[in-house]
Amino acid sequence: MGLAPVHRYVLLVCAAAAASVLIVPWQDLAGLSLSDIIGLALLMAFTLLAERLAVGMSVVSRGSTQTLTFIPILTCVLLFGPAAPVLLMVITGSLAEFYIRRKETLKAVFNVAQYVLSTSLAGWTFALSGGVPVLHADTFPLQLGPFLLFLLVAMGINQGTVFIAITLSQAARVTEVWTKFVGPAGTNALYDLLISPIAIIVTFVYWQASWPSLILSLLPLLFIRRAYLNAYRLEHANRDLLKALVKAIETRDPYTSGHSQRVAGLASRIAQQLGLSRQNVEWIETAALLHDVGKIDARYTDILRKPDSLSPEERAKMQSHVTKGVELLRSLSSVPEEVILSVLHHHERVDGRGYPARLSGDQISIGGKIIMVCDSVDAMLSDRPYRQALSIEQVREQLREHAERQFDSRVVHAVLESRVLEEHVETVRASVTGKDESRPQRPSAPPEHTRQQRRLAALSF
């Protein structure tokens, strides 16, 4: 058969899901009372509402895959035993994938299959380790071990199957996909673990007051979720606005089209290479995107368009773009101080001969040091009206030569030790295609920023 590996894999997962359904103790469902059936239906309704909420606020497609689905799944197994979560995932998973998220058929089928497989096998281990529905249990604490096992098995199979699907669907090395996958998957796993006690509380309340308690305990969660998604959406709207702002600035500077986007990508890679925390990497990436935001001021328009070298007066005027940018960013309440500090330091040199404050060594923030190197690297690897782009070897030479003077040697070391220069040349080439040699290049659309692409979805494919 000429099926692609990913198609064969989807078939395999579907077959495994179909087989796993055979070990589900479906007869347990026949013993449910009317109020339990209402309870199960309410848990399904809650799952669908939570999905609808996320999609309605257009955040699911942007990588926010952390949903509340784990709460009803966990509550189901505790209350009604191993068959209920499988039924919940067959119904809500299908409706969510096909009608709410509107995924393409292959992905939707795969996701439903992996939901069924993970809940079936997790339910099997729950029963095997002595787990019984809490409603029939003598003591609740005895159910906690099987409950934890259920959680870990469901999470493991879910993330493992999605990881293989992503590896097979992308022409990338396993290690490469793993590096991109492990962060979001780890965050999702931690999130699921942290919210799991909510399922225990919901189960307890149900034990006392049957299905009406579900409305009282789950409804507030939907409101909290809504508030969280609002904040998430606002954060991204701000980011989109800032990107649009940077793009607007670069249309006035025909020689540096896409520069800030490329510097942001490069700075993020180097910050990761240096082992900085995720939060720091994000701040530095944002600062790199905004490092020249001060150039939006009309006073720089003529200088930016000037093809010749600048006079000392013009150079001094141009240098004020740093303080102008900081002034602008300080007027925006959503920009963290860490970002502003990196922007303020992006022209400071470690030997104290930079500007605006002539800081040196450790007085300069790590973000400022990284952006200083990335800004220069991107400029050296790009064609300018007065010179051709430098070769990678020439850039390496420049970095070595200016380490401990213009550049921080730790940052230079990170660049020289990795393949970021080779990768960056490809990015520069991709963003300057269609160049007209006879006049300054018209700004081409910067490459789609890779942040969203890097944030691979866990929990679903």
- Minimum distance from CB of 44 to Fe ion (Å)? 54
The yes or no reply on residue 348 touching Fe ion (CB under 5 A) is: no
Closest among 98, 93, 166, 89 to 122, alpha carbons compared = 89
- Least distance from Fe ion to the Cβ atom of residue 226, Å: 40
CB nearer to Fe ion: give 259 or 424.
Answer: 259
Residue 381 CB, nearest distance to Fe ion (Å)? 17
Q: How far is the CB of 441 from Fe ion (least distance, A)?
A: 20
**By C-beta, is 97 or 292 nearer to Fe ion?**
292
Count, residues near Fe ion per rule CB under 5 A: 1
Angstrom distance (rounded) from CA 278 to CA 179: 13
Q: What x-and-dash track marks residues 392-431 binding Fe ion by CB under 5 A? A: ----------------------------------------
Q: Which is nearer to Fe ion, 343 or 366 (CB)?
A: 343
Cβ proximity to Fe ion: between 16 and 249 the closer is 249
CA angle 208, 213, 218 (to 5 degrees): 130
In the complex, minimum distance from the CB of residue 375 to Fe ion, in angstroms, rounded to a whole number = 6
Tokens of 248: 């607007």
Q: Residue 310 in contact with residue 303, Cβ under 8 Å?
A: yes
- Which spans in 274-310 are helix H? 278-290, 301-305
- Contact positions with Fe ion (CB under 5 A) in 281-320: 292
Looking at the Cβ atoms of 24 and 373, the one nearer to Fe ion is 373
Q: How far is the CB of 204 from Fe ion (least distance, A)?
A: 58
Extract the tokens encoding 150: 């259920």
SS3 306: coil
- Which residue is closest to Fe ion by CB? 292
Q: Which is nearer to Fe ion, 81 or 294 (CB)?
A: 294
Both tokens of 184, joined, read 């979001």
Smallest separation (angstroms) from Fe ion to the CB of 42: 57
Measured from the CB atom, the residue of 28 and 292 that comes closer to Fe ion is 292
In this complex, which beta carbon is closest to Fe ion, that of residue 153 or of residue 263? 263
Residue 84 beta carbon to Fe ion: minimum distance, rounded to whole angstroms? 59
Phi, psi angle pair for 384, to nearest 5°: -125, 160
Min CB(268)–Fe ion separation in Å = 18
Between 253 and 292, whose beta carbon lies closer to Fe ion?
A: 292
Give the Cα separation of 318 and 314 in Å (integer). 6
10 Å CB burial of residue 27 (0-12, 13-18, 19+) is exposed
First to last CA, the chain: 24
Conformation bin of residue 260: beta by default, left when phi > 0, alpha when psi is -120 to 50: alpha
Comparison of 288 and 457: residue with beta carbon closer to Fe ion: 288
Nearer to Fe ion, 203 or 342 (CB): 342
Cβ-based nearer residue to Fe ion, 152 or 379: 379
CB contact at 8 A, 84 and 52: no
**In the complex, least distance from residue 411 CB atom to Fe ion, rounded to whole angstroms:** 17
Instruction: Tell me the residue length of the chain.
Output: 461
CA distance 334 to 338: 12
Q: How far apart are CA 87 and CA 120, in angstroms?
A: 10
Least separation in angstroms between residue 64's CB and Fe ion is 32
Asked if residue 222 lies in contact with residue 54, where contact means CB atoms within 8 angstroms, the answer is: no
**Rounded Cα gap, residues 436 and 456, in angstroms:** 36
- Minimum gap (Å) between residue 294 Cβ and Fe ion: 8
Judge whether 339 and 238 are in contact, CB under 8 Å. Answer: no
425: left (phi over 0), alpha (psi -120 to 50) or beta: alpha
Query: Which tokens in the block code for residue 265?
Result: 């990508």
329, 339 contact by CB (below 8 A): yes
Task: Enumerate the H helices of 170-274 as residue ranges.
Answer: 174-209, 212-251, 259-273
Binding site for Fe ion (CB under 5 A): 292
